[in-house]
Amino acid sequence: MLRSLTTALATVLVAGCATSAHVPDAARSALAPTGKLRAGMNLGNSLFTTKDAATDELRGVSVDLMRELASRLGVPVVFVVHATPGDVADAVDQDTWDVAILAIAQARAQTIAFSPAITEIEATYVVHKDSVLRSVEQVDASGIRIAAPEKAGYELYLTQTLRNATLIRTKAGSASSDLFKERRADALAGLKPDLLKAMGKMPEARMLEGKFMTVNHGLGTPRARRAAAEYLKAFVEEMIASGFVARSIERHGVQGLTAVK
């Protein structure tokens, strides 16, 4: 069932939004074929999306951008919530969402058309304090086990670039952290802000200096929707140039997430 892929479904009407005259009909039809903008959201990246435990209300940079996009289109926005970014990406051909914010990755570009990047986040490693590893460059070595959640943008990158180390994929970031804490992994890969937060529960860990990649996120739409992809490109360029993305990051107090300039 398609609904089984969705962990929650919330509908938010954009108050007072009127159809924007400058939006081409083809773009509006491609982005909202059901008359609503179905936004694929994931709770696996708290830098973009958080959920209020008491009200189930979604907040974050992704929510701000999706509401603004829906307002431009003159349609309501529907938040289709998934547990992980991989779940969102996997649902691209199942017609459950029209637009989503995901890490831009070559492996996803075969099915998803991405806008220009909206943000930058460093990805690095955490190792045990007694580890012989001192730099990011030393991690890709024979016998080194790296834990990472499957289908995260940085996991897709490591899958393509690692030559010697062994990548241990887990279903979620918490499972990767558990592997590391149990010393079944020598290094834990992740986004730097998330790793800094996780280290509060891992006193035996230290972060390596540097980064193995910079993760860029963009707005994605099913690849066949050319008119949608063309409009998203212009929309993102305006959101960056106007400072909308930077202001949203500041308003939500997100540490470690930087708007592309």
Say whether both 93 and 176 belong to one domain: no
Q: What is the pLDDT of residue 242?
A: 97
- One digit per residue, the tens of pLDDT, for the chain of length 261 reads 444 444 444 434 333 344 444 899 999 999 999 999 999 999 988 999 999 999 999 999 999 999 999 999 999 999 999 999 999 999 999 999 999 999 999 889 999 999 999 999 999 999 999 999 999 999 999 999 999 999 898 999 999 999 999 999 998 888 999 999 999 999 999 999 989 888 988 999 999 989 999 999 999 999 999 999 999 999 999 999 999 999 999 999 998 899 998
Kindly report the backbone phi and psi dihedral angles of residue 92, in degrees, each rounded to the nearest multiple of 5, phi listed first: -60, -35
According to the model, what pLDDT value does residue 256 have? 85
Q: Tell me the sheet residues that pair with 79.
A: 10, 39
> How many Å apart are CA 39 and CA 22, to the nearest integer?
21
**Do 152 and 202 fall into the same domain?**
yes
Contact 77, 60 (CB under 8 A): no
pLDDT number for residue 11: 39
Considering the domain architecture, whether residues 162 and 59 belong to the same structural domain is answered as: no
Q: Give the model's pLDDT for residue 172.
A: 86
User: Are residues 195 and 225 both part of a single domain?
Assistant: no
CA distances from 238 to 47, 72, 115 (A): 21, 12, 12
* Helix (H) / strand (E) containing 227: helix 226-241
Bridge partners for 207 per DSSP:
126
The strand pairing partners of 113, in sequence order, are 221
Provide the pLDDT for residue 197. 86
**CA-to-CA separations, 169 to 151, 156, 172, 175, in angstroms, rounded:** 9, 10, 9, 9
Would the pTM of this model clear 0.75, i.e. be above it?
yes
Task: Clarify whether residues 134 and 200 are in a common domain.
Answer: yes
Same domain, 112 and 127: no
Q: Are residues 137 and 169 in the same domain?
A: yes
| Torsion on CA atoms 38, 39, 44, 49, rounded to nearest 10 | -130
- Please give the pLDDT value at position 20: 45
Kindly report the CATH number assigned to the domain that includes residue 231: 3.40.190.10
Which class for 74: exposed (0-12), middle (13-18), buried (19 or more C-beta within 10 A)?
middle
Residue 147's domain comprises: 120-214
Residue 107 has a pLDDT of 87
Predicted pLDDT at 17:
40
Residues 52 and 70 grouped into a single domain: yes
Q: How confident is the model at residue 202, as a pLDDT?
A: 92
| Nearest-angstrom CA–CA distance, 80 and 9 | 5
Strands (E), the chain: 8-12, 37-42, 50-51, 58-59, 77-82, 99-103, 112-114, 119-128, 145-149, 166-170, 187-191, 205-207, 213-222, 258-259
Q: Are residues 206 and 159 in the same domain?
A: yes
User: In this structure, is the dihedral angle defined by the CA atoms of residues 70, 73, 78 and 79, taken in order, positive or negative?
Assistant: negative
> 103 and 230 share a domain?
yes
Judge if 83 and 204 occupy the same domain.
no
Cα separation, 202 vs 122, whole angstroms: 20
Q: Please check whether residues 179 and 133 belong to one and the same domain.
A: yes
- Give the other-Cβ count within 10 Å of 185's Cβ: 25
Whole-angstrom Cα distance, residue 194 to residue 178? Answer: 14
Q: For the chain, what is the domain count?
A: 2
Scanning 74-214, the segments in alpha helix (DSSP H) are 85-90, 153-161, 173-181, 192-198
